Amino acid sequence: MADAAPAPKDPATIRREDYRPPAWFIPEVELDFQLDLERTVVRSKLDVRRSKSAKADEPLVLQGDDISPTSVKVDGEARTDWTLVEGDLVLPLNGASHSVEIEVELDPSTNTQLMGLYASNDMLCTQCEAEGFRRITFAPDRPDVLSRYQVRMEADKAKFPVLLCNGDKVAEGDGENGRHWVQWNDPWPKPSYLFALVAGDLVANNDSFTTRSGKPVELNIWVRDGDLDRTGHAMKALKDSMRWDEETYGREYDLGLFNIVAVSDFNMGAMENKGLNIFNSRYILADPEVATDADFDGIEGVVAHEYFHNWSGNRVTCRDWFQLSLKEGFTVYRDQSFSADMGSAALKRIEDVRILRAAQFPEDAGPLAHPIRPESYQEISNFYTATIYNKGAEVIRMMNTLMGAESFRKGTDLYFDRHDGEAATCEDFVTAMEDGGEIDLKQFRNWYETPGTPRVTANLSHDPQTGTATVHLSQKIAQNGEKPKSSELVIPLKTALLDPETGAHQGEQLLLLDQTEKSFVLEGYRDHPVLSINRGFSAPIILESSQTAEQLAFLSAHDDDPFARFEAVQRLMTGYLTAKVLGTPVDRDIILHAVAKILGDKEIDPAFLAELLVLPSEAFLGDQMVEVDPQAIHDEREKLRGKIAVQFEKQFRKLYKSCWPGEFSLDAEARANRKLRNVTLGYLAASYTDDAAELAFEQYREADNMTAMQGALAVLSHLEAEERTIAFDDFYAKFKSNPLVLDKWFSLQAMSLRPDTVKRIDSLSRHPDFTLSNPNRVRALYGAFTGNQVRFHDLSGKGYQMIADMVIALDKQNPQTAARFIPQLGRWRRYERERSELMRLALEKIAAQPELSKDVSEQVHKSLA
Ligand code: B3K
Ligand code: ZN
C-alpha cells in the first residue's frame, strides 16, 4: 500500500520548523504620532532593504491587525496597488531598497484588548509584545527585524504634559493650539515588540545612578499625582538591580535615561520596552499601609526582572517566539538570584518551588503541556506560561549547578558578547554556555524539547559489611495522563547521606542521573544513613522515593539544607493527607511529633518556622492524586489543621504574642514576625477557640500595616461572625478609592471557604466597583476564586458556569486575559466523575460560542481534545 499523504497542515498553527529569515530588513524607522484619546494619527517612514537571500520580486509584507492605511507612499510617490491580506499590507516592490511611508488612524479609547496603543484612565500607553505593534502601524512585526527608531510625539500640552518614548529625548518644543512635541531617538536597534510610548499627566520620582564605568543615568518612575510617595521601594529596587547586574553578570546600563511608568490597566505584570519600562501599577506602588510584605517582594522582583531584560532580552533578543524562554527563563533565573541575594536565599528558594509546583507542574501534567521551546502555537500570547518562564528558569539553574558559578559566568559572558545586537535562539545560548564554560551540554539539550515533569525514583540500600550505601535512581515522564515513559534527561541531584543518629553528613554530592537508570555507590557508612536528595530542589522533578514517615520525620528535624527540611515536612504531611483521602490507615502521631519538634527547636528563625508550619495546599494535594476530590481533600486537610491547632494551642498563643513586630519596619526580623504572626493566627482560628474572631478582629483594628490587616481579614473571611462584616465594611470604606487595595477586598472574599462564596462572587460581580475592563480587578475576583479549590469546585457546578460566562463576556473585550482562565477548567480529566463532566460542559459552552478569539479558541480546543 502506498504511504498515506501527509495530513494537511492546519493554517492556524505556526511551527518552529517553518521559520524563514525575513525577506526585508528595516534598518531605520521614523514615526510621527499626533496623539489624542479618540483620534491618533500615526505616520511611519520605513527604510526597507531587501535581504540578499530574498527573491527579486518578493513583495513587502507588513503585518497589521485591525488597522487600515489612509495613505501609502513609496519613495515619495502615492501608491494604490497594495492589498490587505488577513490584515497584513502586501505591497509589490522591485529593487533592493526603498523608503515606504504609511499613515494610519487609530482610536485608542476603544482599544479594550490593551494591546497596541490604548487609553488607561486619561493617559495613552502602548503594549507591543508579542504582536501589538501591528495594531499601531504596519511593520515587519517579528523579533528578528531590528531597527533604529526616531519618534516624534505631539499632543495637547494640558492633557498630556508628559510625552515619553524609548531612548533619549533629543528635542522638544511647543506647537500651535496648545500642543507640544517631543523628539526621541533610540540609538539601539530593537525589534518592534520593544517599542513603547506614553502620554499623560504624570509626575516623577526622579533619581540617578552612576554606572561602574562612571556614566550617569537619570532614573524616573512616573505615576499619577498622589502616588509619588509610594514609589520609593521600586526606585530602591531599580538601583539595587542596576548594581547587582554589574557585579553579578558584568552588565552595565547603556542609555543616559531609564523611565518606568505605572499604569492601572495592564494585561500582565510589566514590560521591558527599551529605556521605557511600563508597569502594572501593582508592581510599583507600595507603602506599608497599602502593600503587604509579599507585595513589596513582588515589586522588587518585577522591577529587577524588567531591568535585567535590558541585556537578556533587549541587547540580545529572540529570533522568533519559539525562543521566548531564551529571554524569559534566563531573566526569571536572574531575578530569582537577585531576590535571593537581597533577602533570604532559603526562603526565596522555597517560594520559587512553591510557584513552580502551583503553576507549572499542573500545566506540564495537563492538555496544555509544552516544552520550554515549543514546536507550534496558534496564539503566542497563550505561551507566556509558567513552563516558558519558571521551568525555563529551572533549566538555567541546572546549568549553573552542573557548571559551577565560575564557568556559568564565563558562559553568560560569551553569550552576551557573541550575540550582542542580535536576535538569537535557545540553541545559541546553550552553545555559548558550552564554549564559554567548557562543558558538553549535548544531552542536557533534551530539556528544551521534552514536555512533562520527570518522575525520579530514588532508593537507598546499605551494606553494613562493606560500609557502602547505594543510591538507586531511575527516571520517567508522564505526559497528559498517559502511562509514564522512561526518559534520558540530565538530572542533577544534590544529595547527602545523613547519620541516622545525629543528622550529620560527610558533605553534599552532586549525583548526575543521565540514564534511564543509574546507581551510585558511596563508601564509608557504618550505619544505614538517611537519604536527603534533590537538596535545594536542584532539579525540577517529582521525587518518588520509598522513604518511610519515620525517615521524613527525621529529616524534618535534622536536615541542614533548609529546602530539604521544608520538603521533608511537606512530604510527611502530603503522605498522611493523601492516604486519609483514599481511606488508607495511616499514623497521625508521627506528624504531631514532627510538629512538636519543629515548635520546640529554638534554632529555627521565625520566618522559616512559619514556612514549616504551613500545610501543603489543597491544589498541591490534588496534584498528587490520580483522581481529585476537592471536598475530601479540603475536609482532611482542615481536620489535620484543626488537630495541630488544638494540640499546640498554647504554643501558638505564646508565639502569637511573642512575635508582635513592634513599630513597622521592612527589615527581615520584623517581616519574619509578621509572617509567623499571621500563620499562628490562622492556627488559633482553626483550634475552635471562641475568641478566634475577636483575636483576628483585634489584629485588624490595631494593624499599622497591610500584612497584618490582610492576615486578619483572611481569617475573618472564613468565619460566620459579625466581626467579619464589620471588618470587611470598614476595609471597604477606608480603601475604596485605592484600586490596588480594593482588589484585595475582592480577593479575600473570593478566597473565603464559606459555603456561600459562589453566591457572594456572583453578587460581587455586580458590585459598582467591579469591572471586566480592568485586568487586575478581574484577576482579583475570578482569579482568586479559581484558586479556591473547595468553592470553585462546588458540586453544583455553579463555579464552573460562572467562569465560563465570564470568559465568554471578557473574550469580546480582552481575549488575552480571558484565555488565562481556561487552564483551570482545562484540567477536567483529573477530577472525579461528576465534577469532571461539569467542567467539560463549561468548556463546551465556551467552545460553542460564535466568533471566539484565537486566544480562547486555542486553549479551549486543546483542552477538549
Ligand atoms: N515580556 C513581558 C511579557 C509580555 C507578555 C505579552 N503577552 C513581561 C516580562 O516577561 O518581562
Ligand atoms: Zn520577562
- DSSP one-letter string for 73-108: EETTEE----EEETTEEEE---SSEEEEEEEEEE-G
Given 432, 449, 466, the domain boundary residue is 449
- Of ligand 1's listed atoms, the one at least distance from the Cα of 309 is 11
Write the CATH number for 800.
Answer: 1.25.50.10
pLDDT in tens, 518-569: 999 999 999 999 999 999 999 999 999 889 999 999 999 999 999 999 999 9
Nearest-CA residue for ligand 1 atom 4 is: 129
Residue whose cell numbers read 495546599: 617
pLDDT of res. 545:
86
With residue 841 as reference, give the H or E element that holds it.
helix 833-847
Q: What is the mean pLDDT of residues 409-430?
A: 99
Q: Are residues 25 and 158 in the same domain?
A: yes
Q: Are residues 61 and 184 in the same domain?
A: yes
- Of ligand 1's listed atoms, the one at least distance from the Cα of 272 is 11
Those residues with Cβ within 8 angstroms of residue 495's Cβ, 6 or more apart along the chain or in another chain: 471, 508, 509, 510, 511, 531, 532, 533, 534, 535
Would the CB of 131 count as within 6 Å of ligand 1?
no
Average predicted confidence (pLDDT) for the chain: 97
Q: What is the mean pLDDT of residues 208-212?
A: 99
Nearest-CA residue for ligand 1 atom 1 is: 271
Quote the CA–CA distance of 10 and 863 in Å, as a whole number.
Answer: 17
Distance 382 CA to ligand 2 centre (A): 15
Q: Are residues 324 and 195 in the same domain?
A: no
Would the CB of 819 count as within 6 Å of ligand 1?
no
Ligand closest to Cα of 268 equals 1
pLDDT in tens, 224-282: 999 999 999 999 999 999 999 999 999 999 999 999 999 999 999 999 999 999 999 99
Is 366 a domain residue? yes
Q: Are residues 196 and 47 in the same domain?
A: yes
Is 660 a domain residue? no
pLDDT in tens, 183-203: 999 999 999 999 999 999 999
Does 12 score more than 70 pLDDT?
yes
Would the CB of 608 count as within 6 Å of ligand 1?
no
Distance 270 CA to ligand 1 centre (A): 7
- DSSP one-letter string for 358-403: IIIHHHHTSTT---SS-SEES-GGGG--HIIIIIHHHHHHHHHHHH
Q: What is the mean pLDDT of residues 107-135?
A: 98
Quote the CA–CA distance of 146 and 274 in Å, as a whole number.
Answer: 12
Pairing of strands 24-34, 40-50: antiparallel
pLDDT band at 832 (very low <50, low <70, confident <90, very high): very high
- Of ligand 1's listed atoms, the one at least distance from the Cα of 268 is 5
Is 372 a domain residue? yes
Is 464 a domain residue? no
- Of ligand 1's listed atoms, the one at least distance from the Cα of 305 is 11
Distance 266 CA to ligand 2 centre (A): 15
Count other C-beta atoms under 10 Å from residue 722's C-beta: 10
Q: What is the mean pLDDT of residues 707-711?
A: 98
Would the CB of 272 count as within 6 Å of ligand 1?
yes
Quote the CA–CA distance of 362 and 619 in Å, as a whole number.
Answer: 9
Nearest-CA residue for ligand 1 atom 3 is: 271
pLDDT of res. 8:
56
pLDDT in tens, 576-631: 999 999 999 999 999 999 999 999 999 999 999 999 999 999 999 999 999 999 99
Would the CB of 194 count as within 6 Å of ligand 1?
no
Quote the CA–CA distance of 515 and 495 in Å, as a whole number.
Answer: 17
Would the CB of 113 count as within 6 Å of ligand 1?
no
Would the CB of 306 count as within 6 Å of ligand 1?
yes
Q: Are residues 39 and 171 in the same domain?
A: yes
What is the domain count for the chain? 3
pLDDT band at 487 (very low <50, low <70, confident <90, very high): confident
Distance 273 CA to ligand 1 centre (A): 10
Would the CB of 268 count as within 6 Å of ligand 1?
yes
pLDDT in tens, 638-686: 999 999 999 999 999 999 999 987 899 999 999 999 999 999 999 999 9
Is 724 a domain residue? no
Q: What is the mean pLDDT of residues 63-85?
A: 98
The domain in which residue 364 lies consists of 316-449
Ligand closest to Cα of 306 equals 1
Distance 308 CA to ligand 2 centre (A): 9
Using the 8-state DSSP alphabet, how is residue 285 labeled? -
Q: Are residues 193 and 327 in the same domain?
A: no
pLDDT in tens, 104-116: 999 999 999 999 9
Ligand closest to Cα of 814 equals 1
pLDDT in tens, 279-301: 999 999 999 999 999 999 999 99
Would the CB of 335 count as within 6 Å of ligand 1?
no
Q: What is the mean pLDDT of residues 782-797?
A: 98
Q: What is the mean pLDDT of residues 41-47?
A: 99
Active-site pick, 101, 154, 300, 306: 306
Quote the CA–CA distance of 463 and 528 in Å, as a whole number.
Answer: 8
Given 166, 201, 236, the domain boundary residue is 201
- Over the range 837-859, which residues count as b (16 or more CB within 10 Å of their CB) and which as e? ebbbebbebbeebeebbebbbbb
Write the CATH number for 52.
Answer: 2.60.40.1730
Instruction: Among 384, 389, 814, 855, say which to mutate for ligand 1: greatest number of ligand atoms within 8 Å of CB.
Output: 384
pLDDT of res. 2:
42
In the residue annotation, 482 being an active-site residue is answered as no
Is 254 a domain residue? no
Cell numbers describing residue 173: 518644543
Length of the chain: 865
**What is the value of pTM for the model shown?**
0.98
Given 155, 170, 201, the domain boundary residue is 201
Residue % of the chain over a pLDDT of 70: 99
Q: What is the mean pLDDT of residues 63-71?
A: 98
Quote the CA–CA distance of 743 and 782 in Å, as a whole number.
Answer: 11
pLDDT of res. 1:
39
Does 418 score more than 70 pLDDT?
yes
Nearest-CA residue for ligand 1 atom 6 is: 129
Cα within 13 Å of Cα(172), Cβ side: 13
